[in-house]
Structure 1
């Protein structure tokens, strides 16, 4: 079943997961208002990226139905953050990697989520996005490097602020890798600091998922 799960995290917050199996054509025809989504599709993407994009919209609508039967189209703001045009008070975050697609929807506040395939690339790129303390904590564990990256992506999406330097402005406290848990992250801006709890789980040995919710995001 492509729709893997719909998990209420709170009365106003639901996490959805999709395990991608369908073709792009099948996903498009299953969406509400397929002609509008066909027009919104990013151009120049390969088939895998196209199916991930469409599955994200299908999943977002599945999560939305947990709250309302209202019709809405998922679009993006100027920073790339997705939102339902007819339901602007709803917060939405999407992510996809390989066969997994994740979506979090909240009726209040802001949300962020990220799913990552565990691979050596994150470890190789670590000097670009991890502080020295974070690199020391990650050691030689590929899964931990991928989780660090995923958690930082989640904080970035939560705030939807361009130009953040992951290595310096999004920092995570050391942690012990488990099947599921909570990480503590810090966003350091020019005139403010904020602290966030990032939930994580290992979907499979090869994939990690992170998500976070904030009632109010302060700049």
Structure 2
């Protein structure tokens, strides 16, 4: 089982990253399927997406010991059927990650690519641009994107605008560390979220638990 990173918080929250090396057949043989899961997988035609779906379910199975049967709310938030645990899922090129927790949580991962910086005007605001200030822009942009995706998954606020209604506080990127983010949504009180991150040559990872 190619788990390349794992961490936990006070035995209440567990995060795991899987590097996908198996074939679809090999992944499927490790998974305990329900009828719902078989039907969900049938709806996915893209081979890469099928691998990511299988790997994420295997991580849920591994972390919880429960059948990894996941349904989604109307907003797209995953729910682990017949469990009070919170679950959040992300995947990117060749990797899948899952975080399960007794607390509200969120996770996002992305693979290094120039496309993130090309889209940065859509999610990086002027305040954040000031502390980036021409330094390692690809890394900053990727971590900020993952951080805002994590905030979105954690807060569950529909219609939130990443650029205008989320703010990542200044940080200096290292291989791993913590940073903080804020949600500035209409008349709601400003809430600060503590985020953790990990930077590797193959992926960026941000999570909240």
Query: Which residue of the partner structure matches residue 131 of structure 2?
Result: 137
What is the count of residue pairs matched by the alignment? 206
Q: Distance in 2 between matches of 1:144 and 1:72?
A: 34
Say whether the 8 Å CA contact 1:116–1:150 is kept in structure 2.
yes
Structure 1 residues 170-193: Cα deviation after superposition (integer angstroms, max 9, x where no partner): 110111111111111001122212
Change in Cα spacing, 1:162 to 1:42, as seen in structure 2 (3 Å) is: farther
Instruction: Give unmatched runs, 5+ long, in structure 1.
Output: 214-219
Q: Distance in 2 between matches of 1:196 and 1:46?
A: 35
Say whether the 8 Å CA contact 2:71–2:80 is kept in structure 1.
yes
Query: Which residue of the partner structure matches residue 86 of structure 1?
Result: 82
Query: Which residue of the partner structure matches residue 195 of structure 2?
Result: 198
TM-score norm. by structure 2 comes to 0.91
Say whether the 8 Å CA contact 1:126–1:135 is kept in structure 2.
no
Change in Cα spacing, 1:72 to 1:49, as seen in structure 2 (3 Å) is: closer
Query: Which residue of the partner structure matches residue 102 of structure 1?
Result: 97
TM-score norm. by structure 1 comes to 0.87
Change in Cα spacing, 1:44 to 1:12, as seen in structure 2 (3 Å) is: closer
| 1:47 pairs with 2:41 | no
Q: Distance in 1 between matches of 2:119 and 2:193?
A: 24
Q: Distance in 2 between matches of 1:23 and 1:34?
A: 20
Structure 1 residues 81-140: Cα deviation after superposition (integer angstroms, max 9, x where no partner): 1111101x2100111111221111012x21100111121111111111110121233335
Say whether the 8 Å CA contact 1:119–1:143 is kept in structure 2.
no
Query: Which residue of the partner structure matches residue 19 of structure 2?
Result: 19
| 1:165 pairs with 2:161 | yes
Say whether the 8 Å CA contact 1:129–1:149 is kept in structure 2.
yes
Say whether the 8 Å CA contact 1:14–1:104 is kept in structure 2.
yes
SS at match of 2:98: strand
Q: Distance in 2 between matches of 1:23 and 1:101?
A: 14
Say whether the 8 Å CA contact 2:58–2:68 is kept in structure 1.
no
SS at match of 2:49: helix
Q: Distance in 1 between matches of 2:98 and 2:68?
A: 16
SS at match of 2:74: coil
1:117 maps to which of 107, 111, 120: 111
SS at match of 1:110: coil
SS at match of 2:178: strand
| 1:212 pairs with 2:208 | yes
Q: Distance in 2 between matches of 1:164 and 1:152?
A: 10
Dislocated runs of 4+, deviation >4 Å: none
Q: Distance in 1 between matches of 2:42 and 2:143?
A: 28
Change in Cα spacing, 1:15 to 1:185, as seen in structure 2 (3 Å) is: same
